[in-house]
Amino acid sequence: MPTYILGIESSCDDTSASVLCDGKVLSNLVANQEIHKSYGGVVPELASRAHQQNIIPVVNQAILKANIDKKQLNAIAYTRGPGLLGSLLVGSSFSKSLSMGLEVPIIEVNHMQAHLLAHFIEDCNTEKPEFPFIGVTISGGHTQIVLVKDYFDMKVIGETLDDAIGETFDKCGKMMGLSYPAGPLVDKNSKLGDAEKFKFTKPKVAGLNFSFSGLKTGFHRFIENKIREEENFLSIETNNLCASLQKTIVDILYEKINSAVQETGIKNIVFGGGVSCNTGIIERFKNDNNNFKAFFPKFEYTTDNAAMIAMVGYLKYLNSDFSNLKEGAKARYKI
Ligand code: KG4
Ligand code: ZN
């Protein structure tokens, strides 16, 4: 008998639902919330309201597209955390109600584990990473280096002490007048710019931890000074600024991952999270001269999506690792 899992993701500003059959994606729908663009960042209160509007149509569409009847679902998997509490509450409450209505088990999922385990979705990439591997979660809210010995044997061995890598792309992009989220635009503009044109100071942080707030402040000060000298500085130099900023961020990440490889002796590097579709990161880490092998998820499984939640749900279902209805959303939820 095939196993059908419905995954529901609502940790930030995307409402997503997906149906998997034995780890294979039958549907994966994402409703993006355009409303945040005009505010230059995610407004939590608006995100929760939009989730409430979107969740029923998105789940319905996911089941319809999967071409199954909801009674065929074996379990409901939902994002328990980390994320925005109001957003998580919408997805978790809805999932619990649906599991009660359908009388199927409920499975809670850690969003950051899901970003890494997305690689085990059948069509995520041509080659599956072998354990142990070094997981790298890079998103709008996280920057972590994770020692992954098995599906659910994960330990964070390095993380950012302040801003996340995606936040750095977004905030520096905003300083250049780029719209939210600026990460993809910085990436796009970088291709037209000279990455050596401007130099930004890299942080000195011990061990495998990161810090991006100094880079963000330095970048801000730099462009403010330049604008004082030439008021059109931003419009003239946007592409060069984007390319130089992106190179600095990639350099910081590359140095830390090399240290992680040296420290652990593990040579499989598995990326997850929205920033892992950055072309500068992919080029540097996919280079044949590296003494490690990098795995990147297919584009649709990099940013927030419910297929990765359903995948973790499926892995937990195989272990009969079910949750209970008392378990609530957790804004802070460690891997
Ligand atoms: O994983 P995700 O969808 O949501 C969070 O859990 O945060 O990641 C979103 C982040 C945003 O900061 C966005 O700007 C960034 O991923 N991002 C990128 C690129 N595509 C998305 N950053 C740099 N380059 C990209 N191509
Ligand atoms: Zn995410």
Domain boundaries, the chain: 4-120+302-318, 133-296
Q: How much is the pLDDT for 34?
A: 77
CB 294 within 8 A of CB 122: no
Strand order in the sheet with 143-150: 153-159, 143-150, 133-138, 268-272, 293-295
Q: How far is the CA of 140 from the centre of ligand 1 (A)?
A: 5
Q: How much is the pLDDT for 107?
A: 98
Q: Is 163 in the pocket of ligand 1 (CB under 6 A)?
A: no
Q: How much is the pLDDT for 66?
A: 98
Q: How far is the CA of 4 from the centre of ligand 1 (A)?
A: 29
CB 139 within 8 A of CB 170: no
Strand order in the sheet with 4-9: 24-32, 14-21, 4-9, 75-81, 106-110
**Distance (Å, rounded) from C-alpha 51 to C-alpha 16?**
9
Where the chain has pLDDT below 70, the residues are: none
Q: How far is the CA of 165 from the centre of ligand 1 (A)?
A: 9
DSSP 8-state secondary structure symbol assigned to residue 230: -
Q: What number of other Cβ atoms are within 10 A of residue 246's Cβ?
A: 24
Q: Is 187 in the pocket of ligand 1 (CB under 6 A)?
A: yes
CB 55 within 8 A of CB 14: no
Domain boundaries 4-120+302-318, corresponding CATH code: 3.30.420.40
Q: How much is the pLDDT for 257?
A: 98
For ligand 1, atom 22: residue with the closest CA:
183
**Atom of ligand 1 at shortest distance to CA of 111?**
6
Q: What number of other Cβ atoms are within 10 A of residue 230's Cβ?
A: 11
133-296: same fold as 4-120+302-318? yes
**Distance (Å, rounded) from C-alpha 218 to C-alpha 212?**
10
Q: How much is the pLDDT for 102?
A: 98
Q: Which residues lie closer than 8 Å to 235 by C-beta, 6 or more apart?
A: none
Q: Which helix (H) or strand (E) holds 54?
A: helix 44-66
Q: Is 81 in the pocket of ligand 1 (CB under 6 A)?
A: no
Distances (CA, A) of 82 to 43, 100, 109, 113: 16, 24, 10, 10
Q: How much is the pLDDT for 206?
A: 94
For ligand 1, atom 11: residue with the closest CA:
140
Domain boundaries 133-296, corresponding CATH code: 3.30.420.40
